[in-house]
Amino acid sequence: MPIQRVLCATALASWPNDNAVLDSRQLLDSPYRPVVVLDSGVGGLTLVRQLEQLAPEVSILYVADNAWFPYGSKPVAAVACRVQQLLDQVCTRVDPLAVVIACNTTSIALIDHGRVPFTKGHFLVTPPLKEAVQASANGKIALLATPGTIKSKHISTALAKAITRAQVWPIAAQRLVELSEYKLAAQATSPACLSELIDSHLPTAQRLEIDTVILGCTHFPHLLGDLQTLFPSAATWIDPAKEVALQIASSIKINLSTLGPPARTVIFTSLPGTRNPQHAFLNYGFHAAYSLLA
């Protein structure tokens, strides 16, 4: 079904402790150009955190496509089409400073299906296998990612190139996405569940040899402390969101005299249900919510 090009002007009624909720007209009429961050859940908040450190004066419009959460379990062609439609819709309503697909699965889906927006100011997040090989001292590398990322043509090609210089274990860890969502929603997560998940892909002896881990999903840095206990020999943890945030910060041109207080706005594509991400967005300073009708 085509995505309707309408922003609902009614803020989510369940958004707590928010005394400054705006309607969509205020958002669209604002002279301030935001950086648009898109993901299906809270994973993109790891990139927001990096960007805020580099450019705290920038406003951020976060598109949380929770109606399609998680992207990693969906057909990649459908994800590519869905995200392109969402971006088209949002970018007809705002004039962004930059647009970033803060999801490895989606970024690679766009690459694999020839939908990469070759427009200046568009950024993708993908697992940097080449950089990981260069950083690894012993050539023992774990790639934590979603099944969609692991199975992609883009990553298959990168793994084939890396095999001559390093041993890379691709671990399809979709469950980590859900656990990171639970953690940011202040729900308990089990370390034993994490351990069982990793051990089902990689024997303990080999896991203990890993010296470099690629966080191939923007959700995974939320679980970094837990993951470090599972890979005690890993001295290098590669989070591609850091490099992308640097690229965004260096590319955007900002006239500080025209900027008001930076806004943090999140748009959901459906009303949050039992998996409630609002707690996480509130903790990151997002104070307004809108429903993007799909």
DSSP readout, 168-184? Answer: EEEEE-HHHHHHHHHHH
> Which range, 60-74, 77-91, 213-227, is most confident?
213-227
Pick the CATH number of 129-239 from 1.10.10.10, 3.40.50.300, 3.60.15.10, 3.40.50.1860: 3.40.50.1860
Average pLDDT estimate for 254-258? 60
pLDDT at position 261 over 50: yes
Residue linked to tokens 């694999």:
112
Cβ atoms of 109 and 152 within 8 Å: the answer is yes
Cα dihedral sign, 71-72-77-83 = positive
* Annotated domain spans of the chain: 24-125+242-291, 129-239
Categorize the per-residue pLDDT at 240 as very low, low, confident or very high, splitting at 50, 70 and 90: very high
Mean of pLDDT over the chain: 82
pTM of the predicted protein model:
0.84
More confident residue, 116 or 36: 36
Helices (H) and strands (E) in the chain, counts: 13, 10
List the beta bridge partners of residue 288: 265
Would you state the structure tokens that stand for residue 107, as one six-digit string?
A: 């970024």
Q: Do domains 24-125+242-291 and 129-239 have the same CATH topology?
A: yes
Beta-bridge partner residues of 35:
60, 98
Nearest to 270 by CA among 132, 66, 125: 66
Own/partner pairs, 200-206, CB within 8 angstroms, 24+ separation? 201/169, 201/171, 201/172, 201/173, 202/142, 202/169, 202/171, 206/140, 206/169
Provide the pLDDT for residue 276: 59
> Which residue in this structure is represented by tokens 């799909």?
294
Query: Average pLDDT in the 206-212 region?
Result: 94
Question: Would you please indicate which residues are annotated as catalytic (active-site) residues?
Answer: 103, 217
- Per-residue pLDDT at 35: 93
Token pair of 162 as six digits? 């890396």
Model confidence at 166: pLDDT above 90: yes
CATH of domain 24-125+242-291: 3.40.50.1860
Contact indicator for 113, 80 with CB cutoff of 8 Å: yes
Range of weakest confidence among 8-22, 146-160, 267-281: 8-22
- Which of the 8 DSSP states describes residue 196? H
In this structure, is the dihedral angle defined by the CA atoms of residues 87, 92, 96 and 98, taken in order, positive or negative?
positive
Question: Phi and psi (nearest 5°) for 213?
Answer: -125, 130
The percent helix, strand, coil of the chain (3-state, each to 5) is 40, 15, 40
